Amino acid sequence: MITKKALKNYILPLIGVVILIIFIKNIPSELLSLSLQEIGFINIIILLSLTALDLFLKAVRWQLLIHKITKVKIPLKFSFGTVLAGIAGSSIIPGRIELTRPLMLKTEYDVPLSSSVSALSTERVMDLVSLLVIMTLGILFLSTSISISFILPALVAVIIVLIFFFFVTIFTPYWISMIERVLFVFVRKENSREKIRQFLTSFFEGLSRMEKRYVTGMTLFSIMINGIEIIRFYLLLQMAGLGVSLAAVGFAFTASILIGVVTMIPGGIGVTELSAAEIITKLVPSLPKGLVTSGVLLDRVIAYYILIAAGALILTFYGRYSLAEKNSQNQ
């Protein structure tokens, strides 16, 4: 049995060290072809500021979701740190599966893993819907160079996700019973079955607390978060002298993120960059592919790789410097 002390002082810091080593080892050398002189130091600061704003909004969203589902009010500083740590943690696990945020909430505020996983699942659904909505809008505003056949799959995907989320929140007992029947085929011990039953009940109860109005509001909030990332990417390409429309950037950004998730490669590293560069050069064939690739890599460094390094450092020193404010209100 892993204790909270072992988790906090040894396991999470060790994960942080491993992530940091992998990050340093895999810094893309191609990035150097798009130098700071070409973009400009001031412009880099502007782009980093947009990343910081985006991260801040993600921390606010996570804080609100945790409070809604668990009734635990975590400090914004803790939420900010766990979001960074979560980005680092998911960079080494296929499919962007994230374990660090639930584990940190468990160690600091004794939030049940089922409840925090429920909040995380809700966040993922909102992100998925927002990406699909933005991608669909991008397709609608693109010229005829993109086939209209892209629109139908995107719209169908949005509808399927929304219907699934609706049925999960409305028919909670049915889902619990169905999953139990499947899992209990492999789990024979009654003690283990009871733990699974408690986890599922807590998980779906958390989802059921999401009123339609709240879900709609948070989904719009997620669209704004992803919208800021797209605007940053668009500005970077303009600063590099690459004339790409906002619609094309929005489509390329969202499609590449989704491709990265589908491939199950940790963090979508490599696949996301390649997909974005390929889509942009297909949409605007006149652009030099090398410069587009460098622009995509630079955006990923500003928006993702730097955050992985920061999150890894947080995990590395997590046992010594707690992000939580123990004396503050947490209920």
* pLDDT tens, residue by residue, 48-83: 999 999 999 999 999 999 998 888 999 999 999 999
Instruction: Quickly count: other Cβ atoms within 10 Å of residue 113's Cβ.
Output: 16
Which tens digits make up the pLDDT trace of 185-243? 666 677 766 666 666 666 666 556 666 778 788 889 999 999 999 999 999 999 888 88
Total Cβ atoms within 10 A of residue 291: 18
Range among 32-46, 143-157, 187-201 rated most confident: 32-46
Burial (0-12, 13-18, 19+ Cβ within 10 Å), 41: exposed
Provide mean pLDDT across the span 276-281. Answer: 88
pLDDT at 330: 43
End-to-end CA distance of the chain: 28
The burial class, CB within 10 Å (0-12 / 13-18 / 19+), for 160 is exposed
Does this model's pTM top 0.85? My answer is no
Q: What is the pLDDT of residue 117?
A: 82
**What's the pLDDT score for residue 126?**
85
Largest alpha-carbon pair distance within the chain? 65
Q: What residue ranges do the domains of the chain occupy?
A: 11-316
Nearest to 324, CA basis, from 13, 82, 3, 54? 82
The pair of structure tokens assigned to 298 is 């630079």
Q: How far apart are CA 282 and CA 272, in angstroms?
A: 15
